[in-house]
Structure 1
């Protein structure tokens, strides 16, 4: 199917059925009617533009920190699965998986603590 035939089919469809197209053109206004307004930052809007921008930046950096924390949790789980695979291949022992789990839990705890502390410092 070429692009020209596609446009030709669309033109014939619109020529014979104009009412659905008019209905689709009229509905976007009513679909935006129930949308909520923009949320203020968690620390308030502030008294100036710069303070409002700083409050939005605080929210952004907090979100980036939480994403890094989630990424760290995923990496720890991925490494644990790799060690589990190596156990079945005969390259590692169950003690390696246990030590990976202990170190992983400690890393996750430290990461969560650092993200919480960083959000208070900002």
Structure 2
């Protein structure tokens, strides 16, 4: 037992031990990697493939913009609802906030859809 602890305490042997453990972990980690997903519009050449990947990234960013708009409307609506509960605002103001926010969301989604058709 003393020999094993002496062998492991050596800096050179620690590096060798870590390298062998790391190599074993890497080979098992690379065993069943999934294949790369093709873009939504496909692509026959390398240039067309990258353009279609760019299209997918832009659509993902557009979805993020719609999500941020929804969160902004929801946050403002909750604030106005809190003001209604403390009697600093009226139910009419709350209804107007929700109505205008809904129209804003419809416009954002419509504009993002039109922009994706241009691409």
TM-score bucket of the superposed structures, by smaller chain: 0.7 to 0.9
The question of 1:15 aligning with 2:12 is answered no
Separation in structure 2 between the aligned mates of residue 50 and residue 27 of structure 1, nearest angstrom = 36
Which residue in 2 is equivalent to 1:111?
108
User: In the TM superposition, what are the counterparts of 1:14-93 in structure 2 within 5 Å?
Assistant: 15=8, 22-23=20-21, 25-47=23-45, 49-93=46-90
TM-score (norm 1): 0.74
Gap regions ≥5 residues in structure 2 = none
Separation in structure 1 between the aligned mates of residue 49 and residue 21 of structure 2, nearest angstrom = 41
Separation in structure 2 between the aligned mates of residue 46 and residue 71 of structure 1, nearest angstrom = 35
Relative to structure 2, which stretch is displaced further, 59-68 or 110-119?
A: 110-119
Considering only aligned residues, what root-mean-square deviation do their CA atoms show, in Å?
A: 2.6
Gap regions ≥5 residues in structure 1 = 1-11
Q: Deviations over 1:5-34 (max 9, x none)?
A: xxxxxxx7x927x8x955554122122211
Separation in structure 2 between the aligned mates of residue 26 and residue 109 of structure 1, nearest angstrom = 53
Structure number with greater CO (CA < 8 Å, separation at least 6) is: 1
Separation in structure 2 between the aligned mates of residue 104 and residue 50 of structure 1, nearest angstrom = 40
User: How many pairs are equivalent?
Assistant: 109
TM-score (norm 2): 0.75
